[in-house]
Amino acid sequence: MADLTRADVAHLAGLARIDLSDAELDRMVGELGVILEAVATVQQAPIADVEPMSHPMPIVNVTRPDVVRPSLAPQDALAAAPETEQQRFSVPRILDEE
Digit-coded pLDDT (tens) for 32-69: 999 999 999 999 999 888 888 888 888 888 898 999 99
Asked whether residue 6 carries a pLDDT value surpassing 60, the answer given is: yes
Report the C-alpha gap between 9 and 30 in whole angstroms: 10
Question: Which residue type sits at 7?
Answer: A
Q: Give the CATH number of domain 6-43.
A: 1.10.20
Residue 59, C-beta contacts closer than 8 angstroms, at least 6 positions apart: none
- In this structure, what DSSP letter does residue 72 have? -
pLDDT at 95: 85
Report the C-alpha gap between 50 and 2 in whole angstroms: 29
Structural domain boundaries in the chain: 6-43
Report the C-alpha gap between 63 and 51 in whole angstroms: 28
Supply the pTM of this predicted model: 0.48
Helices of type H across 3-73: 6-15, 22-43
> By C-alpha distance, which of 30, 23, 28, 35 is closest to 12?
28
pLDDT at 61: 86
Mean pLDDT of 2-30: 92
